[in-house]
Structure 1
Amino acid sequence: MSGNLGQSSLHRKRRSRDPMAAYDSLPAPLRSWLSEAALPWSPASARRIWAKSLAKGLSPEEALATLAHAEVRTLARDKVAIRC
């Protein structure tokens, strides 16, 4: 695998629109979280989890915690050992 995606066995997906424009349209707290995320999240998937969390009445901080939990679950599925 090349680029900045790292050593991961997780499936990569093609993008249908400009990823930077999609990233720039995200709320500031979500952009900040994505900048420090362990995985290369797509703006669409991060926005989907963010919106669902807020629709359930969660605060922005709780929505970010939901994203972190989703990331932990995804990392647990990864077959490649991630080394620091």
Structure 2
Amino acid sequence: MRGNLATSLRRRRRPCPIKQYDRLPPELRRWLAQAALPWSPASALRLWQKLLGETAGNTEAVCRRLDLIEARMLMRDAPRIWGFPPPAAAQTAGGESALPRG
């Protein structure tokens, strides 16, 4: 069975992720190549554009912010996925996270 072939609804065309990746700015593609998480090209580009605006176009600052965002996501998800707390290196002497919020 091949699903409902008699529908009058138009199919949604989804863009090819490889083509989306190829159209990303070179700096963002370099960052994604070393990223620990599997970012979608669309979400990475949305965040890249937002951070470019916040950093007045400073791509090095954007990459540092992306590193912090990804580290915070890993810290948040580590206990749920691997069942252990984040590494002590990400904690300050007072027990607070060394990563910024927001």
> TM-score normalized by structure 1?
0.72
Matching of residues 5-24 of structure 1 within 5 Å: 16-24=14-22
Question: Displacement, 1:81?
Answer: 2.6
Q: Which has the higher contact order (CA 8 A, sep 6+)?
A: 1
Percent same amino acid at aligned positions? Answer: 45
Matching of residues 37-56 of structure 1 within 5 Å: 37-56=35-54
* Structure 1 alignment gaps of length 5 or more: 1-15
Equivalent pairs counted in the alignment come to 67
User: Structure 1: how far apart are the matches of 2:62 and 2:70?
Assistant: 12
> TM-score normalized by structure 2?
0.60
Q: Which has the larger radius of gyration?
A: 2
What residue is the counterpart of 1:31 in the other structure? 29
Q: Cα RMSD between the aligned structures?
A: 1.6
Shift of the 17–80 alpha-carbon distance from structure 1 to 2, 3 Å rule, reads same
* Structure 1 residue runs of 4 or more that deviate by more than 6 Å after TM superposition: none
* Structure 2 alignment gaps of length 5 or more: 1-13, 84-102
